[in-house]
């Protein structure tokens, strides 16, 4: 796929997803990236209709991160962009700043909820700086969400926390993603309820 080719849906409700793993060491080949496989595998098992993916593995460089997000939304037409990595307090962690730089609107509830989920597992969740934003063009909009770098933490923040009986104790952020995509003009996305029960008001359910 060339950088200039726009993704084409095979169905009106096919979700176009950009996956961005941000890591100096993984992008240089020092170790194998785990973020993109974790994200893709989780989405494939959670969505009822297989999405179409485009992936990017890039270093912790603010300008390159912003440029990649713009490419995925403006050029390729992704509806949802998930990033992994670069959200901590270290000097090279610049993913939130790069994401905010391309934002039309912030969606602070996503970051707040991700930290609430992670705090159930580790006290260092307060060090996380993940953000979520909407990026809009003249004819398109996308939701961009920063996720943690570790596969286990990715799953926890997306799915949330359930008790031994399977009852949701803390909602994961993906429960709100399908309706958010509805509201910005994207495809109608449905999930397997045993993984994530997507919430919509009754008036928005097909």
CA distance to 14, 16, 31, 50, per residue, from 53 (Å): 10, 6, 22, 9
Q: Residue 1's pLDDT is what? A: 42
pLDDT tens per residue across all 206 residues of the chain: 444 589 999 999 999 999 999 998 888 888 889 999 999 999 999 999 999 999 999 999 999 999 999 999 999 999 999 999 999 999 999 999 999 999 999 999 999 999 999 999 899 999 999 999 999 999 999 999 999 989 999 999 999 988 888 888 889 999 999 999 999 999 999 999 999 999 999 999 99
Q: Residue 50's pLDDT is what? A: 96
pTM: 0.95
Q: Residue 142's pLDDT is what? A: 98
**Domain limits, the chain:** 16-204
Q: Residue 92's pLDDT is what? A: 94
**Structural contact between residues 100 and 130, judged by C-beta atoms closer than 8 angstroms:** no
Q: Which CATH superfamily is domain 16-204 in?
A: MoaB/Mog-like domain (3.40.980.10)
Closest alpha carbon to 160 in 174, 150, 147:
174
Q: Is 182 left (phi over 0), alpha (psi -120 to 50) or beta?
A: alpha
């Amino acid at each position: 796929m060339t950088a200039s080719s726009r993704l084409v849906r095979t169905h009106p409700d096919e979700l176009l997803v950009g996956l961005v793993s941000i890591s100096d060491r993984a992008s240089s080949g020092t170790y194998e990236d785990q973020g993109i496989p974790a994200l893709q595998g989780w989405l494939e098992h959670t969505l009822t209709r297989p999405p179409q993916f485009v992936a990017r593995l890039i270093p912790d460089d603010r300008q390159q991160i912003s440029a990649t997000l713009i490419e995925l939304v403006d050029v390729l037409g992704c509806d949802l962009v998930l990033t992994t990595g670069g959200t901590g307090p270290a000097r090279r962690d610049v993913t939130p700043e790069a994401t905010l730089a391309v934002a039309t609107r912030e969606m602070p509830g996503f970051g707040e909820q991700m930290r609430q989920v992670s705090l159930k597992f580790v006290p260092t969740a307060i060090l996380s700086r993940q953000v979520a934003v909407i990026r809009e063009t003249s004819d398109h909009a996308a939701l961009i969400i920063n996720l943690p770098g570790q596969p286990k933490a990715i799953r926890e923040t997306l799915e949330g926390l359930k008790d031994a009986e399977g009852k949701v104790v803390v909602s994961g952020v993906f429960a709100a993603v399908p309706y958010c995509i509805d509201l910005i003009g994207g495809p109608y996305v449905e999930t397997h309820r045993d993984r994530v029960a997507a919430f919509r008001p009754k008036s928005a359910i097909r």
